Homo-oligomer: A and B are copies of this chain.
Amino acid sequence: MTQNDLFAKSAVASWKLHLGRADQTFAGFTDAELQQEIAPGKNRIFYLLGHLTAVHDRMLPLLGFGTRLHPELDEAFITNADRAAPDRVSAGELRQAWSTVNAALTSAIEALPSEDWLTKHDAVSTDDFAKEPLRNRLSVLLSRTAHVHYHLGQVRLAVKKDS
């Protein structure tokens, strides 16, 4: 492995590790339990599952991997707060979207040539990237790895005997 490969593979391994923990935690709740709030008056687990699915779906174009699979999730899970409107998606549909999006995304992440992690992501202009070379695809991956763990910390408050 080249040094580029070692850097890239470490970041990809971290993404997979932290995403896998979230996946395992969501899988441990029944559909009824997904309706629990993470704390009184706070987001439901269901909302955070939808929120993470929508944010990960947005990573597909952001990282140059192609078009989104579930743009319809944004309104309920990014634009609006939890319970702003009645749910339009079932727990089963949401779990399916979560799996499909993460599978497509992680597969593209694993296939990206190492040095391409240093190229710009889709939300920065070529001019700005020339000035700020850390606005690269790698930074998106690291930021989203931390993001999934941010909400996982909240979701795990609803798991018995754990915090």
Contacts and interface: CB of A to CB of B under 8 A. Distances in A.
Interface stretch (A53-61, A88-96, A97-105, A134-142): A134-142
State the majority secondary structure of interface residues on A.
helix
A152 B148 CA distance: 12
> In the complex, which range does the number of interface residues on chain A fall in?
35 or more
A117 B10 CA distance: 10
Contacts of A131: none
Interface in A105-163: 115, 117-118, 133-134, 136, 138-139, 142-143, 145-147, 149-154, 157, 163
Contact of A157 (B14, B42, B147, B149): B42
Nearest to A117: B7
Nearest to A12: B134
Nearest to A82: B163
Nearest to A139: B10
Contacts of A3: 3-4, 115, 118
Contacts of A133: 1, 6
Contact of A142 (B10, B117, B147, B151): B10
Interface string A2-31: 011011111101100110000000000000
Contacts of A157: 38-39, 42, 154, 157
- Max chain B CB contacts within 10 Å: which of A115, A139, A157? A157
Interface in A26-47: 38-40, 42-43
Contacts of A1: 133
A43 B43 CA distance: 19
